[in-house]
Amino acid sequence: MGSCCASVSSWASQQGFDYLLDGDALFDRIPVTLRARFAAQVVVLSDLARLYWMREVLESGYDRAIWCDADVLIFEQFTPADSGDRFGRECWIQQDGGKLRRYRKIHNAWMQFSAGSPTLAFYLDRARLLLERTESPVVPQFIGPKLLTAWHNIAAFSVEERVGMLSPLVMAELLDGGDRALQMLRAGHAEPLCALNLSASYENREVDGVMHDGHDYQQLVEQLSSGAMLGRLRGAY
């Protein structure tokens, strides 16, 4: 996590952006009743809290705000769009009945909103209302990628294709060899990858027959940061 946050801080500095890092105080922005109701579901609370945080930042005078999860690693410099709203691209590769399947969605591990964004205002209002009308527990991605992708299939948000998401199967191929899942990941992105959400919540959890520990994640971070994995990850564009 520290390496990921450092990569975002370095990227922000090179882009000329201010960088802000928040801890548990992030959740203080959420209404008390919702904090109590979903106290056991920190991921859900985080999905809501980041929207309050971004609204707060934009209302303080910034023209644009970009959110990065703590497990987003930026391994190649890139310049984001200078205006408009964007979400990251999720191409999740997993086993499905003995075959590999790709689920192409959008994610909120990376979000960009401009000042006065109607998308942010709508998203915050609807996400809060959904939680107010729902009892815990809910699926972890309830107001995150699941909700966003459902809207995206209708409204077609702008997508930051250079910021993706890594499933355990793709991570296994990067570390140990293989290219089937990697090919599916590359084919799902319209631009070369420059950053990835590493899906750190899967650490020490077996998924699709693979399980990654802290050493695996550290090895991945080091090799991505050094550029050693870049050719295999990005292929030819």
Percent of the residues in the chain that have a pLDDT greater than 70, as a whole number:
99
Report d(CA 123, CA 119) in Å as an integer.
6
pLDDT score of 19 = 98
> How far is it, in rounded angstroms, from Cα 107 to Cα 109?
6
Angle formed by the axes of helices 118-132 and 42-59, nearest 10°:
150
The Cα 83–Cα 85 span in angstroms is 7
Residue 237 has pLDDT above 70, yes or no: no
pLDDT tens sequence across 176-209: 998 999 999 999 999 999 999 999 999 999 999 9
The encoded tokens of residue 219 equal: 């090895």
Smallest Cα–Cα separation from 111: which of 13, 197, 10, 202?
197
pLDDT for 41 beyond 80: yes
pLDDT digits (tens, 9 = 90+) for 77-86: 999 999 999 9
Six-digit token string for 203: 């650490």
- Residue-wise pLDDT for 86-131, tens only, equals 999 999 999 998 899 999 999 999 999 999 999 999 999 999 999 9
State the average pLDDT for the chain: 96
Task: Name the band, by pLDDT with cuts 50, 70 and 90, for residue 236.
Answer: low
Is pLDDT above 80 for 10?
A: yes
Residues 6+ apart with CB under 8 A from 100: 93, 94, 169, 180, 181, 184
For the chain, give the secondary structure using H, E and C. CHHHHHHHHHHHHHHCCCCCCCCHHHHHHCCHHHHHHCCCCHHHHHHHHHHHHHHHHHHCCCCEEEEECCCEEECCCCCCCCCCCEEEEEEEEEEECCEEEEEEEEEEEEEEEECCCHHHHHHHHHHHHHHHCCCCCCCCCCCCHHHHHHHHHHHCCEEECCEEECCHHHHHHHHHCCCHHHHHHHHCCCCCCCEEECCHHHECCCECCECECHHHHHHHHHHHHHCCCHHHHHCCC
| Alpha carbon distance 180, 134 (integer Å) | 39
**pLDDT value at residue 235:** 82
Laid out side by side, the sheet with 72-74 consists of 72-74, 195-197, 163-165
How high is the pLDDT of residue 75? 97
pLDDT of residue 233 exceeding 60, the answer is: yes
> Using an 8 Å Cβ cutoff, are 159 and 81 in contact?
no
